[in-house]
Structure 1
Amino acid sequence: MTSERLEAFSDGILAIIITIMVLELRAPEGTTFECLWKKAPVFLSYIVSFLYISIYWNHHHQLFKIAKKINGKILWANLNLLFWLSLIPFTTSWIGNNHIEDVPVALYGIVFLMSEISFLYLKHNIIQLHGKNSKVGKDLRMNKKNLLFFGIQISGLLLMSINDYFPLCCFLIAGIVKVVELKKVYDFMLSKM
């Protein structure tokens, strides 16, 4: 099997996820900066969520640019990833509507962690199909940034009792780590061309 249909389906789902998040943004009811400030938790969670969806879309694109073939395990692993990503609008809305409380923030972080685990599982299945010693296997191997990402994410969840905004900052920092990783992936891909 080739990956074009899987990529098109995934692109459509990710576009819908971003659309749902945008539709959840509501303008303040008043016209003052105080009214706008009350919307800060909603907007902050939207920024972090948009960053993560963008990162996964970019990584997904690069992943299937490298992978030359897919199988049923890869299709199911991709659906698993899309499932977790599809929960991001729900958790984003829940955080924003509840002014960043512990349980919504914890679920938000868990969804991000499960999204990353699902993405790594998708990569694992692609490597398994192509072989560890193949070009794909060498290009997609695990790196230290993945461990750093998990460390920052888990730190945010564990230190949630200090301040409810601390986990969001950790999630944002972890997202920035993924953006740096993505830039290196792009540079690596360009060097191979």
Structure 2
Amino acid sequence: MLPHLHLLFWLSLLPFVTGWMGENHFQTMPVDDYGVVLLMCAVAYSILARSLFAHHSENAALAEAIGKDRKGWISIVLYILGIGLSLLHPLLGFGIYICVAIMWLIPDSRIESRLKH
């Protein structure tokens, strides 16, 4: 499967699970499934980024700046944690999903510093 289609598939499910979660007032199953879709989006993004860097050597500076994609791996781990916590209490899992979103709002200075040179 092409990596960009893999990511687009999971992104296309976000409106459905978001609406389902809202209609059911953050019950366990919709919040859990929301986390699964977010997790799969993160995994698909990671696969897409790695395949782009492998096929486009002219982006070596960007690939070097991103490095091991610490934020990406932390996101995946937190989504897994959020899925597990949502089975205990849906708002715990949803809180983890919000933390991941906030984490991505903070710009990554490594990329800017590497690409300026």
TM surpasses 0.5: yes
The answer to whether the 8 A contact 1:130-1:136 is kept is no
- Which of 84, 89, 107 does residue 15 from structure 2 map onto? 89
Separation in 1, partners of 2:113, 2:4: 22
Any idea what the Cα deviations from partners look like across 1:57-116, whole Å, max 9, x if unmatched? xxxxxxxxxxxxxxxx8xx31121111111000000100111111111111001001101
1:188 maps to what in 2? 112
Extract unaligned runs of 5+ from structure 2. Answer: none
Higher alpha-carbon deviation: 183-192 or 82-91: 183-192
After TM superposition, give the deviation of residue 165 of structure 1 in Å: 0.8
Separation in 1, partners of 2:109, 2:8: 21
After TM superposition, give the deviation of residue 186 of structure 1 in Å: 8.4
After TM superposition, give the deviation of residue 146 of structure 1 in Å: 2.1
Residues 112 and 185 of structure 1, relative CA distance in 2, 3 Å threshold: farther
TM-score (norm 1): 0.53
The answer to whether the 8 A contact 2:65-2:114 is kept is no
SS of the residue corresponding to residue 100 of structure 1 reads coil
Separation in 2, partners of 1:187, 1:122: 18
Report 1:91-106 matches (<5 A). Answer: 91-106=17-32
Residue 150 in 1 paired to residue 76 in 2? yes
The answer to whether the 8 A contact 2:62-2:111 is kept is no
Which is richer in helix?
2
After TM superposition, give the deviation of residue 187 of structure 1 in Å: 6.1
| Higher-Rg member (1/2) | 1
Residues 127 and 142 of structure 1, relative CA distance in 2, 3 Å threshold: same
Separation in 1, partners of 2:49, 2:113: 16
Instruction: Give the partner amino acid of 2:97.
Output: F
Aligned-residue CA RMSD in angstroms? 2.6
Extract unaligned runs of 5+ from structure 1. Answer: 1-72
After TM superposition, give the deviation of residue 177 of structure 1 in Å: 1.3
Separation in 2, partners of 1:191, 1:125: 20
How many pairs does the alignment contain?
A: 117
Separation in 1, partners of 2:3, 2:73: 21
After TM superposition, give the deviation of residue 130 of structure 1 in Å: 2.3
Higher relative contact order, chain-length normalized (CA < 8 Å, sep 6+): 2
